[in-house]
Structures are given as structure tokens and as C-alpha cells.
Structure 1
Amino acid sequence: MSPAGEKRLLQLAAGIACLVPIGMGAASIAIGPSILSGIGDPPVRDLDSHFRYLSGIFLILGLAFASCVPGIETKTARFRLLGAMVVAGGLARAWSAAEYGLPSEGHRFGLVMELGVVPLLILWQARVARRLSVR
């Protein structure tokens, strides 16, 4: 297979694979945790599994943000992508708060970080990147 053909095959496979997290993510935001078992309360093992999975993603998200710290003025695209992930999570959390009421204190702190602090950091990083690129 030619390199161009292999690239197209990879693009097709990755495009198809993207449908799983996009579909499940959107459905989970809209439906909530009951999607894990269909109807009603999901079993503890399903909630625990999903919670730990998301915690792993959250850990790597934090490490990816940390990788932006050295030379932060040159990491605009990465910083914005990571920030968009956090803001999207915050919007999903806000949806939950609107549907079921405000969550506990730790989750409210998360909302402030996700919908307040992170967008401000994105704007600040853009300002620093812009100011340093002029020099």
C-alpha cells in the first residue's frame, strides 16, 4: 500500500472511531448517568467505572496543561484546545446543575474553574503570545 493510501485508511479508521466518543459524549450530556444502564439508576460498578475513566482523562488533561507552561507563549493551539475541553465539560456540568440543582461545593469550585478561570487564562495566554510575537 502506498503511503498516501495508508494515510487515507488511517483517516477513515480514525474518523469512524471518533463517532464513539462523539455519540456517547453527546448522549451522556443529554441523558445523564442513566445512559450507563439504559433506564433508571445505573449500577454502582458502571458509575465507578465511568468515574475512574473520566478521572484518567482529567489527569492527562492536567498534565497536558502543565506541558504548556514552559514556553507558554508558543503553545496557543494546544492551550486553546485543552481549554475548550474544560469549558465544554463545564457547560455539561452547568446543564446538570440546571436540571438537578447545584452540585456539592467541590463541583461548584469546578464550575468556577471551568467557566470562569480557564476562559480567562485562555485570553491571557493569547495576550502574552501576541505581545511576545511582536518583539
Structure 2
Amino acid sequence: MVQFLKSFDFSLCCCDIEHAACNHPAGTRKAQSRFSIEFIGRWLTIQSLAFGVPSDRVARGVRSSTSRILGGAMGRRGLQLLLGVLATVAVASGLFGMIFGPEFLPDGGHVSATIDSEYRFVNAFWFTAGAVVMWSLPRVERATAVLRLTLGAAFLGGVARLWAAAASGWPNPVFVAALGIELLLVPVTLCWQARVTTASGASSDQDSP
């Protein structure tokens, strides 16, 4: 029995788990993913401690399995959800800013006509960026250039906010939170999109004759 377990191919086990997690009906895919990760963890313990399988082989199997699970259908849907939330916030706040101006800004109030004009103008771009991200949602794995350009602009806006904080002090906590999203969450989202794109391309290659 021990010899049988020793001869069992860990990578084959991972492939079977990935297939079940990615092809099971959507209603139970979350449970399948949890089972997959727990199963991999058990094999990590068994192979590396009880059977002396080289740790680098086990680590490669775990990384490959986890990467494929997160980059597959579940990763795509999670990315679409995150981008949908960010796009909705951008569209709503951009539209609100264009219509009402800076009057309702936290710590805002009466401003000069020049600042009011510039504020509404900038929010038009914010609104457009959100609309572009919404357009990309159904084709999220293929809209790489569009998302990189749009989210890259948001990241650049975060750099501008940070520069403003260094020059004039920290803004209202609402904008500090926005700064964190632009400088931290946006790069993570771009990396996530790249992983989903890679996984989609790999599956397409496998399906092609």
C-alpha cells in the first residue's frame, strides 16, 4: 500500500482536482475549489513528510494547481466582479461630479469658477474610464490593452494624489482610501487580469486541434 502511494503521481492528482474545480456546475464550484486546496494540502503533508518526496517537486505541483484554479473560470468571474464594482463607482462619482460640481466634496464648499470648471472636466474623464471598464467586462481576458491603459491612468492619478499629499498635506480620509485603491488595488487587478488572460490562452491552445 505504501509503495502504491509512493508511486502515485502528484501532478496527475492535481490535474484531476483542477478539472473538477473548473468544470463542476457553477453552484458548487466554490466548494470544489475549497476541496481542491484542502486535498493539495493533505498531499503536501503526506508526500513531503511521510514519503520523502522532494519538497521542490511538491511546491511546483501546488503552485501550478493553485495558479490554474485561480486563473480559470473562477478567477475570471472574480475579476469581472471587482472590475464591475470599480467601474460602477467611477461612473457614478464621475456623473455626480459633472452634474453637481465640487460643492458636495468632503471638506469642500464654495470654490472659484476656474476650479469648478476644472473639477467637472476631470470628472468627465473619470466617468468615461468607468464606462470603458464596463465595456471590457464581457471580454475581460481579451481587453488587455484597454484595461492596462484605463487602469494605468488610474494608477497615475494615485501618484498625482500622493504628490499632492506631499505638497499640501493629507486630504480627507475618503481620498486617502481612494489613494490606496489607486496605488495598491489597481496594480493587483492588472496582475490578476494578466493571469486570467494567460489561463484563457492556455485553455484555448489545448482546445484547438
Q: Which of 60, 65, 79 is equivalent to 2:133? A: 65
Q: Which amino acid aligns with 2:152?
A: A
**SS of aligned partner of 1:67:** helix
Corresponding residue for 1:111? 179
Query: How far is 1:132 from its partner?
Result: 0.8
Number of the residue aligned with 2:157: 89
Aligned pairs for 1:7-86 (under 5 A) are 44-86=112-154
Q: In 2, distance between residues paired with 1:110 and 1:63?
A: 18
Q: Report the residue type matching 1:91 in the other structure.
A: V
The list of structure 1 runs, each at least 4 consecutive aligned residues, that deviate by more than 6 angstroms after superposition, is none
Paired residues for 1:117-128 under 5 Å: 117-128=185-196
**For the aligned residues, what is the CA RMSD?**
1.0
* Aligned partner of residue 134 in structure 1, secondary structure: helix
- Percent identical among aligned pairs is 31
Task: Specify every segment of 5 or more residues in structure 2 that has no aligned partner in the other structure, as ranges.
Answer: 1-110, 204-209
Residue 169 of structure 2 aligns with which residue?
Answer: 101
What TM-score do you get using the length of structure 1 for normalisation? 0.67
Question: 2:138 aligns to what SS in structure 1?
Answer: coil
1:103 counterpart SS class: coil
Flag the structure with larger Rg. 2
Number of aligned residues: 93
| Structure 1 CA distance for aligned equivalents of residues 174 and 132 of structure 2 | 22
State the 1:127 CA deviation: 0.4
Q: CA deviation at 1:68?
A: 1.2
Please state how far the C-alpha of 1:66 moved relative to its aligned partner. 1.1
SS across alignment from 1:69: helix
CA deviation string 1:67-109 (max 9, x = no partner) = 1111200111111011110011110110001111111011111
Unaligned runs of 5+ in 1: 1-42
Secondary structure of the residue aligned to 2:171 is: coil
